[in-house]
Amino acid sequence: MQELCFDTVYSDVNNIEGFRNEVQFIKDLGFDGKSCIHPKQVRIVHEIYTPSQKEIEKSIRNYKWSKKKLKLRVQELYLLMVKWLITQLL
């Protein structure tokens, strides 16, 4: 199970620019999200955390590359097991 890390609330609900800067900062630090205490903060969090089309495409490429590499690694392990079994039988 994956653990997520959310930043705490930004209590100055009238300082929209400060909130926007903090959300961007904590996203850059690697946080998974930002807690909100006012409805007008939600749109900003969604705006900053919604991935761009370019980020989505990059993630898809990385996923496909990882899947391909994993498949190759499994095949390599399978061949090593077969070779080992052959040496045990001979």
What CA–CA distance (Å, rounded) separates 75 from 3? 31
Tokens 């039988």, residue? 89
The pLDDT tens digits of the residues spanning 10-20 come to 999 999 999 99
What CA–CA distance (Å, rounded) separates 13 from 67? 44
**What pLDDT shows up at residue 90?**
74
Beta-ladder partners of 33: 6
What CA–CA distance (Å, rounded) separates 18 from 89? 70
- pTM (global) more than 0.95: no
Q: Does residue 44 contact residue 16 with C-beta atoms inside 8 Å?
A: yes
